[in-house]
Amino acid sequence: MRANCWMGRNTVEVRDVPDPVILNPRDAIVRITSTAICGSDLHLYDGYIPTMEKGDILGHEFMGEVVEVGAGVANLVSGDRVVVPFPIACGACNSCLAGLYSLCENSNPNAGMAEKLWGHASAGMFGYSHLTGGYAGGQAQYARVPFADVGPIKIDNDLPDEKVLFLSDIFPTGYMGAEMCDIKPGDVIAVWGAGPVGLLAMASANLLGAAKVIAIDRFDYRLRRAREQTGAETLNYEKVGVLAALKDLTGGRGPDACIDAVGMEAHTDLGPLQVYDRVKQAVRLETDRGPALREAIMACRNGGTVSVIGVYGGLMDKFPVGSLMNRSITLKTGQCHVQRYTRPLLRRIENGEIDPSFVISHRLSLGEAPQAYETFKHKQDDCVKVVLSG
């Protein structure tokens, strides 16, 4: 089959690789009809996530048609149309039973590797380094899906791929980011990052009853999409001071909750701080650049919540712990527990409450993946979200 492989920093190639086969009874093989490039794939592309190997197939947002199931999969048959969540989860361990699917205790064969970096391991994930298991990803023609009796959600309606594809990651991730804000009537929610996850966090905050949503980014074309598609007020941090502007927009209080939808490669227009983080990251003295998270904490109202769905990998400097502690800020985090959200969010799509495809800017073929990574990385051609098919 053809698959988009990581070949080193800033290099991906669409190559011929062997087709996947069933390895375990609870596996299924899916022929992929649509797959997407995630902002978090750029952290791999840019070389900031450790434990990548040359030849790793990328991609963790995909859907398609079941073509084969293992003997232990009773709920799917060949021909079923499914969306596959990015975390691989067994459904039987204590974490899965508690709904914490991205922390499945059994799906990461490299858990020992992750424990060295993080203390405890996360679940296995598709196409996301060997720390999260070393599973081939979904930017390919086929994928092997472990625990296929737990993760994949069957799509029985005739909604087009692009309306349901994002149930694999970014819609549940944005939704969980908003849900962690515990939104009460009248709440103002600020979202750092108007990329696909940030946009879906804004739309989700609206679904959950936010009185006002404020988007923070530096790309006007993304802020425009936030205004037009989610009704957010927007702040371009290259043009205004974010902390002062947020105080102004909230009567001095600060947002009730702040969502970090940026993650480890955050940018700041404060030159010296950007240089400090870039240098330390380049020489691996810190792995994560922190301006978005730092600012989200500083901006949050006293007693408010900071919700982190942007991906971080290791260590960050200059973490404003004094602001966090003295002002009773609640910090909530996590890789999305996608399996918890697929069914309720599919219902919201079917009911017409939301169409997550509003984030898509580019529709390309799998063979165009290398150019798509470049376009996405450098924010060329007003790129927000790339979907690859066939």
Partner 1 sequence: MSASSAITINQTQQDIAARLPQADPPLSDDDADAEIVYAPAPGDRGTEVRVLLPNSPGGLGQKVAAVMGLDAQRELDDALRRFKQLLETGEIARSDGSPTGTDARAQRSQQPAQPSEAGQ
What is the binding site for partner 1 (CB under 8 A)? Answer: 3, 5, 17-21, 23-26, 51, 53-57, 72, 90, 92-94, 97, 105-113, 124, 127, 130, 133-137, 144, 146-147
Nearer to partner 1, 19 or 228 (CB): 19
- The answer to whether the CB of 249 falls within 8 A of the CB of 238 is no
CA angle 258, 83, 222 (to 5 degrees): 40
Nearer to partner 1, 133 or 291 (CB): 133
Nearer to partner 1, 115 or 228 (CB): 115
Nearer to partner 1, 90 or 213 (CB): 90
- Rounded to whole angstroms, the Cα distance separating 387 from 38 reads 9
Q: Minimum CB separation from partner 1 for residue 133, in Å? A: 5
Integer-rounded Cα Rg, in Å, for the chain is 20
Q: Minimum CB separation from partner 1 for residue 36, in Å? A: 18
Q: Minimum CB separation from partner 1 for residue 95, in Å? A: 10
Q: Minimum CB separation from partner 1 for residue 98, in Å? A: 9
Q: Which residues contact 234 (CB under 8 A, 6 or more apart)?
A: 194, 214, 215, 216, 217, 223, 224, 226, 227
Q: Minimum CB separation from partner 1 for residue 17, in Å? A: 5
Q: What count of other Cβ atoms lies within 10 Å of the Cβ of residue 379? A: 14
Nearer to partner 1, 72 or 186 (CB): 72
- Rounded to whole angstroms, the Cα distance separating 78 from 328 reads 52
Nearer to partner 1, 150 or 178 (CB): 150
Q: Residue 7: exposed, middle, or buried by beta-carbon count in 10 A (0-12, 13-18, 19+)?
A: middle
- Rounded to whole angstroms, the Cα distance separating 246 from 263 reads 20
Q: Minimum CB separation from partner 1 for residue 20, in Å? A: 4
